[in-house]
Every structure is written in C-alpha cells, then in structure tokens.
Structure 1
Amino acid sequence: MPNFESSVFVFLFSFLFFFLSEATPIYSSHACTDSVKYRSNSTFQINLNLLLSYLSSNATQGSHFFRTRLGDGTANVINGLFLCRGDTLAATCGDCVSTAAGEIKRRCPVQKEAIIWYDVCMLRYSHESLNNIVPSTDLSNTKNVAPEDKERFNELLAGMLNSLADKAVISQKEKFETKEVNFTRTEKLFGLVQCTPDLTAFDCNMCLRSAIASVPNCCDGKRGATVLLPGCNIRYEFFPFFNTTPSSNPPAVQSRPSGRSHVSVILGFIIPIAASVTLFAFGFCSFARKQGRYMLVLCRKTNLPEV
C-alpha cells in the first residue's frame, strides 16, 4: 500500500538521520575575536590547551554542561565551557566536545576569545567574563512552506517556540525542552530550545525571547531554522532531529484560521516578548561591549520526502 510504504520510508529516513547525527557531530559555525590575540608558546596558550583538554575529559562524565576557569592574575586567566544538547548520550557529548576543542584551535589559532557550534554541542572560551546576550547576524537559505499555509505555519511555530521557552525558563536543571506539533495530517513540526544551565531564569528568558524575536526577520515561512547564541539556542524542523519520547502527546491537527491578518500572526511572536523587552533595556548596557560577535541564524533546507 503506497501510504504504508511512504510511512515506513519516512520512519527509516528519520531514524537514520537521528542515528547519524548522534554518531558524528555536524559543524554549524564559529566566531573568533580578532582584536585580542596571544603569542605562540605563551602562558595563555598553555592554559588554553589545558582548558580544552579539561573540557573534553569532563564531557564524557554524563553532564551536558560544564564551566571552569584556569590561570591566575589577569593576563593569563581563561574562562571556558561546553554545552551539549539535552538529549545526547555521554559518549556523543564527549565526541562532539572533543571535536570542537580541536577544531576551535584550527579555526581560531591565536585568538583569546572564540566560540564554536555543532548540531549537538557548543564550546567557547574567553580571557574575559562569558557574557550571553548579543544581537543577531541573519543567514538563510531554505525552502518555504506553501504560500497558502504560511499564515497558519507562522502562528503554529510562534505558539510552539514561546511555549517551549516558558517551560525552559522555569526548569530547575537543564533548561532544555522539546516539542512536536501536527502541521498537517502527514507532517509534524519539531521544536527545541535550550539555555546554558548556569543562566538565571531572567537571563535565560531574555536570551530565548531574543532568539524567537529574530525568526520573523530571518526565517519567515522557512521550513527549518536554527538560532544560535552563546547562552541559548532554538531550532525547528519538519523531521525529528532530537530524541523523541513515547510520552510526547502532540495536539490535534489545527484547521487553518480564517480572517486573520498578517499583523496578527506577527503578534504571536511579539506579544509574549513585549514585557521582556522593557526589562531587557535596563540590563543591556552592561553587555554592550560584547555585542555583535557571537550569534548566528542558520535556516536549513529540509529534504524530507512527501507522504
């Protein structure tokens, strides 16, 4: 039967994608601070090598997050951390952080501040404090949803991301949440949000709301997107890119809203964020020096076969 065969094919495709993503970390992006550099064979380089080795070894211990500091005085102090996606196994986390530690040295060979992202982990270090709130740099290249579905899609996506952010903010442990919702009778939309666990509820909320607010500008109607910041990340796709659980209970298929204006769809993203913006304005100045370096938006093309 065609429907059965298509369903089996989609299941096997999704399983294979998840298996491969667990086995091999996929590079996303990196950023280096070119204004501050260290000399070869300096004390800072020795401390950096120790830090990266320490992060790699701790990534295999079962924790998805680890933060540390090495060095003394001011010139050679270095702060570092890694964050693995909340559904990764210890071995996968360790492999990703180890890969990131090697690659960040290759891509940022003399910089005192750098960050690198993979699909399942992030690693960063800095000679200064690790700030987490930065503006965005938008890059997009992906398929769009069908024009007749765009309004309903944007509304569904906004509701899903804001719901996930609400849950992550109040999480007492990992600040990691996933969700799946029905887009059509044959397609599901999968979403994920995550903050570094050391963030306060306030900072996690600010980070996630900033990421969500960037979606209409960078990825309006796009079928897949990832927004990466030092302190948090969000992602959505039309395939299960995270480890789904049997307890997931997606809502029923939603009918297309009638008579809604484009403005009302945008408000689905903006209204939950509006209250946070006022508070954010007061806290932003302390982060101003660090702005404009470490956020990336990647909108990925989705090749899931039609069913």
Structure 2
Amino acid sequence: MVIGADPLYHLCYNDSGNFTRYSPYDQSLNKLLGDLYYKTPSNGFGMGSVGQYQAQTFGLSMCRGDVSSKDCMDCVVNASAEIRKRCPNNKAATIWYDECQLKYSNTDFFGQIDNRVKLYMWNLNNVSDPTSFNLATKNLLSNLSVTAYTDPKLMYAAGDTELKGSQKIYGLVQCTRDLSPDECKICLESAISELPSCCDGKQGGRVISGSCNIRYEIYPFTSVS
C-alpha cells in the first residue's frame, strides 16, 4: 500500500444528513474509525458501532484477502483519513482502494446488500476470442464465488484457469463479512451477471459494490496468484 495513493472511488451520501465538527456524531465517528484501525488488520475485516441515538454511527472496513496485516493497516489508516477529507460533514460515506474499503453510516446497514453504487472498471484491450474467453471468465468467477460464500470466515477466493495455449485468466471474488452466505452468493452472482454489459471481451474487468467485488485479469494481481 502506497501511503497517499488515490482511491479507486469514494461516495459521500447526501441523503443521510450532515454533522458538524466536534459534535457528538463527530466524536462517535472518530472513535469508530479508531476501532476499525485496531480490529481490521488481524483478520482483514472489522465492524462496529459507536454512540447512541442521533450520535450513533455504524461502520466496517475490509482488506483484500491476500493483503498482509501491515499493508491492511496502512490502507485502513489511509482510507480513514482520506474519507474524512473528502466527505467532511456527511454522516454516511464509502471509499474503495485496491487493497481495502471502508464505509460508515448513521443507520445500521449490517447484513444488507449495498448496491447504492456500483463501480465498473475494465482493461481497454480486447481478447481475440471473446466468446470462449467470456465463458471461461464467468466459470472461473462462479466457481470462486462458491468457495467464497461457503466459507463465512473469509468470504474471499482467488484463483486462475487455463485457456488454450499458455494463457491464463486470474480471478478474485470477495464479500464483506457482515453478509450471510446467502447474501454473499446473491451479491456475487449479481456482479458476475453484469460483466457482459461492462467488460465484454475485455482483457480485464471489475465490478465493485458496497458489499462485494469481483475482478479478473490476464495477469496475476494478488500475492497468491
């Protein structure tokens, strides 16, 4: 994790209301972000709630399944600082990096699939045989999804599959661990179903939401690929 690296995306939710500096909500949010900093690096995921009534805030942070504890900590620290800069008065916000994501809200969102925003990214280069490539990609990500949602302790899987010749496709799927296995399954299947509309025949692509994300490339992009 490069300190100061730009996030993939961030979103400040204007419909959740605002707060002022040094207010009870501000104090709750600061404590929550500190708690997530301590909770997340040990196993790659942290969640919690701080405060009461109008000052209560809920949040979670998640690191990519292959990221080391140190890089996870660095990413969460960076995400916490950056989201406060970019959404200084919003009671709800989400920020995504390559190696982690962080979100908080003044309403309890735990266990709910968050599709308020979806981020689509793709490689500009096309493959030579999109039909067989798309099918292989879908099969890889679908198989990885089964591995992920049947392991509630991780809800993460990465792997690869061989194409004709020596080429491979590398894939990754992950859900936030506040979801149940069934919710993770629904989230990942929904993301995979959107690949044809964003990434048809592309050499790489991602679909990222508030609750899960998928990615594939023709090159290794995780530490265990």
Post-superposition offset of 1:224: 1.2
Q: Does 1:58 align with 2:39?
A: yes
Q: Does 1:219 align with 2:199?
A: yes
Partner of 2:64: 85
Distance 2:83 2:18 in 1: 14
Distance 2:22 2:65 in 1: 36
Distance 2:119 2:63 in 1: 23
Q: Does 1:39 align with 2:40?
A: no
Post-superposition offset of 1:208: 0.5
Distance 2:35 2:155 in 1: 23
Runs of 4+ residues deviating >2 angstroms: 22-26, 57-60, 135-146, 183-187
Aligned-partner residue type, residue 100 of structure 2? C
Post-superposition offset of 1:106: 0.8
Q: Deviations over 1:253-297 (max 9, x none)?
A: xxxxxxxxxxxxxxxxxxxxxxxxxxxxxxxxxxxxxxxxxxxxx
Partner of 1:301: none
Indicate if the aligned counterparts of 2:120 and 2:205 stay in contact, CA closer than 8 A: no
TM-score by length of 2: 0.91
Indicate if the aligned counterparts of 2:94 and 2:104 stay in contact, CA closer than 8 A: yes
**Bigger CA radius of gyration:** 1
Normalized per residue, which structure has more strand? Answer: 2
Distance 2:177 2:32 in 1: 20
* Segment of structure 1 superposing worse, 103-112 or 179-188: 179-188
Post-superposition offset of 1:133: 3.5
Aligned-partner residue type, residue 203 of structure 1? E
Post-superposition offset of 1:124: 0.5
Indicate if the aligned counterparts of 1:168 and 1:177 stay in contact, CA closer than 8 A: yes
Partner of 1:199: 179
Partner of 1:144: 125
Partner of 1:48: 29
Post-superposition offset of 1:195: 1.0
Normalized per residue, which structure has more helix? Answer: 1
SS at match of 1:59: helix
Q: Does 1:126 align with 2:105?
A: yes
Indicate if the aligned counterparts of 1:26 and 1:119 stay in contact, CA closer than 8 A: no
Query: Identity, % of aligned pairs?
Result: 34
Count of matched residue pairs? 221
Distance 2:68 2:120 in 1: 30
The 5-angstrom pairing of residues 105-184 of structure 1 reads 105-130=84-109, 131-134=112-115, 137=118, 139-140=120-121, 142-146=123-127, 148-184=128-164
Structure 2, unpaired ranges of 5+: none
Structure 1, unpaired ranges of 5+: 1-21, 246-307
TM-score by length of 1: 0.68
Distance 1:78 1:88 in 2: 27
Q: Deviations over 1:223-245 (max 9, x none)?
A: 11121111111111111111226
Distance 1:103 1:26 in 2: 9
